[in-house]
């Protein structure tokens, strides 16, 4: 008999809708898998089993089946507050913090009929591309437990890859969805700025962080994205939409299922970080990129190389904005830490360095950095305007070993993150949508992902192209050793 997690997320939803699978039954199935496997994986900081089962009973009896994610389990990334549930932000300073109110995104997922099973692991305040923290043991990559799953949505990706969740929401301020999705052999979508109202990026410094889905397939990722946006019927229920909704707007799930169209695709291996860091792309990743280009050409898409304009100020500008963002973290307000506004509390070296540098910035320096990122956004959109999508590697290196990042030297740690993932942050700076999907395997049986970057508001095209690749590769049928 096929176990529930063996089905796609969409098929699980269909089984629920038909009454062939119970909501409580599905919730218990995933809780059992978490209990059996998460001890070695470290994907969860907190599991809320009793609360999840109570919620499942409520959904089954009282929530309309027409809701977008009716009965589907997920987990909150532990950067988001959920009322009455320990929320650590990956930091020892918040190890015992229980919020009295929820953030907006958990509420949206609840309204869609979803069932949270707990909190997935994240690095301290989500500031890094790895998921190692002094709060708890590191999250591990299901394909090789000696390796990391990437970050900052590393726990979410590890859980989905191992079959502990059907899909998971994540957040992405510089690659934090795409990096772990690529490292764990998954599909991850970073939506356009403004696409997901509950975490749109519009109200954030530099417009960087947005929310998006992590899933095992393109269709499942689109399914969750629709639920995160909050749609009713066929019209976008989004006051911060990139354009006014219309009655003929289709769901992203529909675009992903159809996977239609022929498009003009650029191929880019440039990174704006190359002016400030020495970047090297692993030869196995370069080989998979070439294979992907050949497959896209065979599918009938136009292919052309494209490069970024030189951006010597990008690295400094992005780092400045990242430091300024860290400077806004308020550690002193959470018991039992008692500290003044300039204290670092019980934080890790990288966070301490980022916060202190951020608090040393002048208003002029921050304004100049924001202006540079704005200029970079306009140049990049113009540069890519002749293409429906642009293909890049998702990562420059294969998944990194646990302990590879220098925990004692924060500047070196930051540089290592750039070397690992130089193709992600500039998409956030430009506000563009992007999708990563697994397209190849290394000689050591590790997944290799490729990234497609779209035009502003161009998620539907990305889903269409990605689904065409997925039909050929059938990657969603592959699973890591821990799966069974």
Out of 116, 152, 171, 271, pick the active-site residue. 152
Out of 116, 176, 217, 460, pick the active-site residue. 176
Is residue 276 annotated as a catalytic residue, yes or no?
A: no
Is residue 190 annotated as a catalytic residue, yes or no?
A: no
What HEC string does the chain produce?
Answer: CCCHHHCCHHHHHHHHHHCCCCHHHHHHHHHHHHHHHHHHHCCEEEECHHHHHHHHHHHHHHCCCCCCCCCCEEEEECCCCECCECCCCCCHHHCCCCCCCCCHHHHHHHHCCCEEEEEECCCHHHCCCCCCECCECCCCECCECCECCCCCCHHHHHHHHCCCCCEEEEEECCCCCHHHHHHCCCEEEECCCCCCHHHCCCCCHHHCCEEEEEECCHHHHHHHHHHHHCEECCEECCCCCCCCCCCCCCCHHHHHHHCCCCCEEEECCCCHHHHCCCCCCCHHHHHHHHHHHHHHHHCCCEEEECCCCCCCCHHHHHHHHHHHHHHCCCCCCCCCCCCCCCCCCCCCHHHHHHHHHHHHCCHHHHHHHHHHHHHHHHHHHHHCCCCCEEEEECCCCCCCECCCCCCCCHHHHHHHHHHHCCCCHHHHHHCCCEEEEEEEECCCCCEEEEEEEECCCCHHHHHHHHHHHHHHHCHHHCCCHHHC
Out of 8, 77, 153, 171, pick the active-site residue. 77
Which residues are marked as active site? 77, 152, 176
């Amino acid at each position: 008999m096929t176990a529930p997690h063996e089905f796609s997320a969409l098929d699980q939803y269909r089984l629920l809708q038909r009454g062939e699978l119970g909501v409580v039954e599905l919730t218990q199935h995933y809780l059992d898998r978490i209990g059996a496997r998460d001890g070695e994986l470290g994907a969860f900081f907190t599991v809320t089993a009793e609360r999840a089962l109570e919620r499942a009973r409520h959904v089954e009896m009282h929530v309309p089946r027409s809701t977008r994610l009716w009965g589907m389990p997920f987990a909150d990334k532990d950067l988001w507050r959920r009322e009455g549930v320990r929320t650590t932000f990956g930091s020892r300073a918040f190890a015992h913090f229980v919020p009295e109110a929820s953030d907006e995104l958990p509420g949206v997922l609840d309204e869609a009929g979803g069932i949270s099973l707990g909190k997935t692991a994240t690095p301290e305040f989500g500031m890094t591309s790895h998921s190692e923290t002094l709060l708890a043991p590191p999250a591990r990559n299901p394909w090789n437990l000696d390796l990391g799953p990437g970050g900052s949505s590393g726990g979410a990706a590890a859980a989905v890859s191992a079959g502990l969740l059907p899909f998971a929401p994540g957040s992405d301020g510089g690659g934090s969805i795409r990096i772990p999705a690529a490292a764990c052999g998954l599909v991850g979508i970073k939506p356009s700025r403004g696409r997901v109202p509950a975490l749109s990026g519009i109200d954030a410094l530099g417009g960087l962080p947005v929310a998006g889905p992590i899933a095992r397939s393109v269709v499942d990722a689109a399914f969750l994205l629709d639920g995160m946006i909050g749609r009713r019927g066929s019209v976008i229920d989004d006051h911060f939409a990139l354009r006014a909704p219309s009655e003929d707007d289709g769901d992203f799930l529909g675009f992903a299922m159809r996977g239609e169209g022929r498009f003009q695709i650029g191929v880019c291996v440039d990174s704006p970080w190359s002016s400030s860091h020495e970047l090297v792309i692993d030869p196995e990743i370069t080989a998979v990129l070439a294979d992907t280009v050949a497959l896209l050409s065979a599918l009938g898409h136009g292919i052309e190389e494209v490069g970024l304009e030189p951006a010597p100020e990008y690295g400094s500008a992005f780092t400045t904005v990242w430091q300024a963002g860290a400077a806004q973290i308020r550690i002193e307000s959470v018991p039992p830490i008692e500290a003044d506004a300039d204290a670092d509390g019980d934080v890790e070296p990288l966070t301490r360095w980022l916060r202190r540098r951020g608090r040393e910035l002048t208003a002029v320096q921050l304004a100049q950095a924001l202006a540079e990122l704005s200029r970079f956004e306009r140049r990049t959109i113009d540069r890519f305007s002749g293409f429906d999508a642009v293909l890049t590697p998702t990562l420059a290196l294969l998944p990194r070993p646990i302990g590879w990042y220098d925990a004692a030297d924060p500047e070196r740690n930051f540089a290592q993150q750039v070397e690992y993932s130089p193709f992600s942050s500039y998409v956030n700076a430009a506000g563009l949508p992007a999708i990563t999907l697994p397209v190849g395997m290394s000689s050591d049986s590790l997944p290799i992902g490729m990234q497609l970057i779209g035009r502003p508001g161009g998620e539907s095209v990305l889903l269409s192209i990605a689904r065409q690749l997925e039909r050929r590769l059938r990657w969603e049928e592959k699973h890591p050793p821990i799966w069974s």
